[in-house]
Amino acid sequence: MKDIKLPESIRKMIEGKTYTVDDMGKSGSKILIFDDMVLKIVKFRERNEDVVKLMRWLEGKVPAPRVLAYEREDEYQYLLMSKVKGSMSCDPYYMNRPKEMIRALADGMKFLWSVDISDCPRMMDLDAELKEARVRVENNDVDTSDAEPETYGEGGFKDPEDLLSWLETHRPSCEMVLSHGDYCLPNVFIEDGKFCGFIDLPEAGVADKWRDIALCYRSLKHNAEGTFGGAVYPDIDPNMLFTELGIEPDWDKINYYILLDELF
């Protein structure tokens, strides 16, 4: 811990505890994982304070990390959170039990839909998302090397500006719910075969329910095909998600939100 500069209040809470470093995500954050808590260190952004406010609002409503301490010091923000129990949905144990895993993913989504959003402090609707996407495109912050193969080039979009223009003129109707915002397998936890919690909530807020459906479908597809980790799971059919949710897929909305995510 000596090589990591920390606010004194947080250092006192974790002093002497062993930890591992999680570098799975793509956010550029430094994440230290302890036995009973997690410390996330990120460069300052005003929206991170909105995330902390939302997390405090979620306490008692959603099984997600609780804010144990939050400090801003110089150019960094430090968020110390409780640790969610269970295993990631992409744990090999559950990847080899696709029906059990996908039912848990669907149950987690239904849980979010059941939460009263009337006083939720954070809107992540298309107005907010497209506004931030516009900033990212204009600042050249979009990484096209990480896009789906068909997004850009022949048969796809010329560049992020072209994609954004299409998104702005093809906005779908929305069904507003409490949305996780990055509903992929590593962010949904399972214990004893049942959904038990969420992690990684920087994109959470009130949004169209199809945003989570789309990103969950894509995550199932990529994890089944071996995009992450290399192992292929031929028994996983991402379409099982719609059966467990009890809905018909709206492919126009699913494709829209997958394309929108290409700009983030």
Catalytic residues: 182
Can you list the alpha helix ranges (DSSP code H) found in 145-194?
Answer: 160-169
Angle of helix 251-261 relative to helix 209-225, nearest 10 degrees, comes to: 80
Residue 204 neighbours by CB under 8 Å, 6+ apart: 51, 54, 58, 122, 124, 178, 179, 180, 181
Angle of helix 251-261 relative to helix 126-138, nearest 10 degrees, comes to: 40
Dist. CA 214–CA 259, nearest whole Å = 10
- What are the C-alpha distances in Å from 223 to residues 147, 187, 215, 242? 16, 13, 12, 17
Which one, of 9, 22, 27, 1, lies nearest residue 73 by Cα?
9
Dist. CA 239–CA 168, nearest whole Å = 28
3-state secondary structure of 246: coil
| HEC sequence for 202-239 | CCCEEEEHHHHHHHHHHHHHHHHHCCCCCCCCCCCCCC
Give CA 163 to chain center in angstroms.
Answer: 22
What tokens were used for 95? 């990847």
3-state secondary structure of 14: helix
